[in-house]
Homo-oligomer: A and B are copies of this chain.
């Protein structure tokens, strides 16, 4: 019977008995029991129902706040059941669409399924689902791209309307009704506080060892009643480990058993490693110049291959005693926490590969002492990013000669994912670094262009640009000084002469010579890309 024993929380033991329902097999029964063992509040246990039943609480036109941040901690069952309900309604000729607000990107079971069903009218913030993105770029779904650190306060301010319902994944429910958060916190505190109705998904696959790793700050307020946020180190605990919810608002509790659906971790390629090399060399130079302490300042690192390469570069570069104040902990950062290169990391989500999840579960007691998960309004808070002096390292689509950065749009019109938290860190941190390979699509695209086709980070907010070609340090430079170093250090050799030619002619022919441009030609590289599939001239 040993394998039947439900896993229990460190903190809570219950006397739940085995399910005797006929027709259910033993593993399924065990799974159901494991999750019931996580629901310690009698009133909420009485609201356990199927995802399909729960989804009947969601009506057309509602604004629904959902959990989920970079593919972790999103609800696994209710959105799928909801998509079914929507498809049935559409089949009957009834319109059924929602306003969907999340923490950040989710997964095919949420954004993908709802978008495919035609069930999303409006969506914010960051997303990455192919089906959702395609519909946004066909003009079928209204998408608003908000700084991740500002979604919660915009909701509290009333700028986004009323939150009708929240669907939030948790790892367990305490006897007093408080919730053990899951692998991401995102905007869950805000959705739970503000929604009229709440549906909880209790997921048996999320490790109960997460308990104690979260820090939910309940000290926020609306102006003019705000007080300083008492956090001065990345690892400070300033709140409580559990999410609060009014049990009377909870209309359904749904048991789920599916892990976060996250991709495999791929080792950094050569381009990423070269980018990481330039950045690590630069950080060492800054230490030598006395502008950074030996253990740097809290790192913020965007998601993906280059970010992981940079973290690997720091580990291999002999750094130690580092800290992170960031949004997401991916495998690259987990590895640095494992080896104590990073001694403390603050984030709002764990976004790990299946191997990363195993490693995390295996050494969860080690990680619990070194990881704090917070609401994204805190992980990305202007006050804290400024105070801590974060070093922001974020990917981008393209940069222009003058240091403006496009993080979101292909050729100015199609959204990729969204600005995420890059603006929260670039504007208020100590150092804002933006990284990209110098070209994309086998060289058809130059990621350094005369003028970016969309601006997410202005010339005022960009310190460092890095490609595999080199690093441009834009601090303290005028626009033309920036252009010279960007062309010399970051442009791909295939595009460098073209950029130099544009810049030379702009310096000669531009009406104003503070930020020289040829207005008729500034976006021509993107036009060529759209019309001919390449930025290269004919």
Contacts and interface: CB of A to CB of B under 8 A. Distances in A.
Interface stretch (A48-56, A222-230, A256-264): A222-230
Contacts of A512: 137, 409-415
Contact of A382 (B122, B297, B386, B527): B386
A18 interface: no
A399 B157 CA distance: 24
A475 B512 CA distance: 34
- Describe A's contact surface by its main secondary structure: loop
Interface string A185-197: 0000000000000
Contacts of A232: 226-228
A158 interface: yes
Interface residues of A, number: 85
A427 interface: yes
B382 A517 contact: no
A458 interface: yes
Contacts of A341: none
Nearest to A125: B460
A147 B459 CA distance: 10
A23 interface: no
Contacts of A289: 158
Given A455-B458, A476-B159, A527 B520 contact: yes
A346 interface: no
A240 interface: no
A515 B454 contact: yes
B291 A158 contact: yes
A145 to B, nearest CB: 6
A345 interface: no
A27 B289 CA distance: 53
B297 A515 contact: no
Q: Which of A138, A158, A427, A515 gathers most chain B CB within 10 Å?
A: A515
A161 interface: yes
A126 to B, nearest CB: 12
Nearest to A138: B513
A481 interface: yes
Contact of A387 (B223, B413, B419, B519): B223
Contacts of A514: 136-137, 139, 143, 409, 413-415
A414 B460 contact: no
A78 to B, nearest CB: 24
Interface in A394-442: 404, 409-415, 419, 423, 427-428, 430
A233 interface: yes
Contacts of A154: 475-476
A415 B383 CA distance: 30
A108 interface: no
A211 interface: no
Contacts of A517: 412-413, 453
Interface string A508-534: 001111111101101110110010000
A507 B389 CA distance: 42
Contact of A511 (B404, B411, B430): B411
A290 interface: yes
Contacts of A515: 409, 412-413, 415, 454
A386 B383 contact: yes
From A291, A513, A519, name the one whose CB has the most chain B CB atoms within 10 angstroms: A519
A287 to B, nearest CB: 12
Contacts of A460: 145-147, 419, 423, 456
A34 to B, nearest CB: 40
Contact of A389 (B138, B223, B293, B412): B223
A88 interface: no
A33 B229 CA distance: 50
B143 A478 contact: yes
A142 interface: yes
A498 interface: no
A42 interface: no
Nearest to A388: B223
Interface string A139-152: 10011111100000
A289 B161 CA distance: 11
A513 B147 CA distance: 21
A389 B475 contact: no
26 contacts: A137-B513, A139-B480, A142-B477, A145-B460, A158-B291, A159-B463, A160-B476, A224-B298, A227-B232, A228-B230, A381-B386, A382-B383, A382-B427, A411-B511, A412-B512, A412-B515, A413-B510, A414-B512, A415-B512, A415-B515, A423-B427, A511-B530, A519-B523, A519-B530, A520-B527, A523-B523
Given A382-B428, A383-B387, 9 more contacts: A136-B514, A143-B514, A159-B291, A159-B476, A383-B386, A409-B512, A412-B515, A413-B516, A423-B460
